[in-house]
Every structure is written in C-alpha cells, then in structure tokens.
Amino acid sequence: ESLPVLATLIPANPNGAAGAERNDWLRRINEQIRPMARAEGAVVADLHAAFLRESDLSALFADHVHPNDRGYQVMAAEFFRAITRPPSASAAALPSLLSHP
C-alpha cells in the first residue's frame, strides 16, 4: 500500500510579470486541489500556504518562476510535514500502511 501525497501549486513570484491575475488563478486551482485530495484519501502538502507563511515571498525565487534553494527548503519542509503528520481524513489509513514491511 502507499500513502498518496498531492501538493498545491506555489504562488507566483511577486516580482514576476504574472502578478495578481496569476495568483488569483492559482488560488482558485488550489481551492479545488485540497478537497479533491482529501476526498480521494490523499495527504495534502500545501506548498502554496507554506510559501505564503514566509515573510518575503520574492526571496524564495531564483527567477520569475523557479524556486531558489530557500524555496525548495520550504517545499521540502512542507512535504515532510504532510507525510509525517497526515490530516485526520487520511490518518486512519496510516496505521495499516505502517504495519506492512
């Protein structure tokens, strides 16, 4: 068995050309990803929320699209959090997953 993990999309770099319109689109897509993942029993790694918790969003990007090392650290920490502390909707499946070699 496996424990599926689905990630939200990260916000756009505020210093990029995409601007508010792109972030509005990303927010709407992420609003669909979260409930879909939970309905399917997947754990959500909320990368979007993790990026927004940082004090300087633009400091997480190497260019207008790609995260830099700090951005990837934020992503890795969020995946780790999601995998090690699954939400209650999928927590029930975790003991059976852990019991298999």
- Bridge partners (DSSP) of residue 61 are 67
Q: For the chain, what is the mean pLDDT?
A: 86
**58 contacts 15 by C-beta, under 8 angstroms:** yes
> With bands split at pLDDT 50, 70 and 90, how would you rate the model's confidence at 29?
very high
Q: Please compute the mean of the pLDDT values over residues 50-73 and round it to a whole number.
A: 96
pLDDT the model gives residue 18:
74
Binning pLDDT at 50, 70 and 90, where does residue 50 land? Answer: very high
Single pTM value for the model: 0.81
Transcribe 56-98 into DSSP letters: -GGGGBSSSSSB-HHHHHHHHHHHHHHHHS--HHHHTTHHHHH
Two tokens, residue 43? 């754990």
What's the average model confidence in pLDDT over 47-73?
96
Q: Cβ(4)–Cβ(78) under 8 Å?
A: no
Taking residues 27-37, report their average pLDDT. 96
Phi, psi of 61 (to 5 degrees): -120, 140
pLDDT digits (tens, 9 = 90+) for 7-28: 999 999 998 877 788 999 999 9
At 101, the pLDDT band (50, 70, 90 cuts) reads: very low
